[in-house]
Amino acid sequence: MRSSRPVLGSLAAIALAAASLPASAQTHLEVQGGRSYMNSHGTNAFFAEAVFEPQVMGRSRFTWSPDVSIGYIKGRDLGRYRGADPGVTDNIWVGAAGARFHYGNHGDWYQPFFFSFQLAGIAGGRTQALSSGYEFVSTIGYQWKNVSFQVRHISNGGFKEPNRGETMALLGVGFDI
């Protein structure tokens, strides 16, 4: 299925909103790729993500950072779902915004571990895995200076069936600006 101009415009608006944050803020830009699985059927997934300057949560050792991403999950051709509505062949675009959380001070060995939670909108169609226009994105990972590894799950939380979800392992390469 082809993406429409309004959908692509919406994704571009999310990217521009992220870029409009203050230039003086520390921003980490990253490109991620890997395999996404729905019921053990894999496909390719790619994301571009921006994580902004961390903010301390009160007097704790926790920090949070605004986090936005745009992603693409390739459709699948599975005979089992050819007659299903929705099917699994649509290529899905994901636009998400939320927060990334870390614990510890800079330099602590465990500080690069993170958890992020985002609210997402999807475009390009619907699938057995991503069946609604809204989804939740949960990610756990490890962020070295220029490389990250993360496991991400995208699902609508059971608000609309089918809700098989997408679970992916992603490797990212990025830089600070």
Q: What is the mean pLDDT of residues 64-73?
A: 98
* 11-to-43, 80, 100, 114, 156 alpha-carbon distances in Å: 22, 31, 20, 25, 19
When pLDDT is averaged across residues 116-123 and rounded to a whole number, the result is 97
Q: What percent of the chain has pLDDT over 70?
A: 86
Q: What CATH number is associated with residue 85?
A: 2.40.160.20
Question: What's the rounded Cα separation, in Å, for the pair 146 and 150?
Answer: 13
Q: Is pLDDT of 14 > 70? A: no
Q: What is the distance in angstroms between the CA of the first residue and the CA of the last residue of the chain?
A: 35
pLDDT mean over 1-15: 55
> What's phi and psi for 42, nearest 5 deg?
-90, 155
Give the CA distances from residue 68 to residues 14, 29, 40, in Å, rounded to whole numbers and listed in that order: 8, 10, 27
Classify residue 107 as left (phi > 0), alpha (psi -120 to 50) or beta: left
Residue 106 phi, psi dihedral angles, 5° rounding: -55, 130
Pairwise CA distance, residues 22 & 82, whole Å: 47
Using the 8-state DSSP alphabet, how is residue 17 labeled? H
pLDDT band per the 50, 70, 90 thresholds, residue 15? low
Q: Give the global pTM.
A: 0.85
CA quadruple 124, 126, 128, 132: dihedral sign: positive
* Domain count across the chain: 1
**130 within 8 A of 73, measured Cβ to Cβ:** yes
45-60 residue pLDDT tens: 999 999 999 999 999 9
Segment 87-93 shows an average pLDDT of 96
Q: Domain range holding 17?
A: 5-176
